[in-house]
Amino acid sequence: MTLVDTVKQDVASAMRAGERERVAALRLVLSELQKNAKEGGTDELAVLRRERKRRLESAAAFREAGRTELADGEETEARIIEAYLPAELPDGELREIVAAAIAETGATSPKDMGKVMKAAMAQVDGRADGRRVSALVREALAR
């Protein structure tokens, strides 16, 4: 069963349960997934990560503007989307991946950060936010 099929079933379940916020969020996700498929995209998880990131950025902007009710709604949508993403890597495992990427690329200074990030992100495969990976790479190369 594809992710699109799973989301369709979840939309139907949420409609039967009367969960309006969940239905709205899932319909939006379904629309983005279908648009991606129509355009020939194959990475459904990238679509989910992008949509979650948009919601979190919107929530931060709303909070900054003092609109907490709108920020809460965006964060709720982000959590709904997050449920379809693979689990985040724990810090220990992420540190191991970064260390392996540094060894693989032969990086010795912060100037080599781009090479290390490329290698590390390939291993992470969407299971960690780029900011987390970047912070760990920066920390490891600063030593």
CB 88 within 8 A of CB 65: no
Q: What is the pLDDT of residues 2-12, one digit of tens each?
A: 888 999 999 99
CATH class of 3-82: mainly alpha
Q: What is the pLDDT of residues 50-102, one digit of tens each?
A: 899 999 999 999 999 999 999 999 999 999 998 988 888 888 888 888 888 88
Same fold, 3-82 and 91-142: no
Compute CA distances 102 → 24, 92, 119, 132, whole Å.
43, 15, 8, 16
CB 26 within 8 A of CB 3: no
- Domain boundary assignment for the chain: 3-82, 91-142
AA letter at 116? V
91-142 maps to which CATH number?
1.10.10.410
Q: What does the DSSP assignment read for 4-25?
A: HHHHHHHHHHHHHHT-HHHHHH
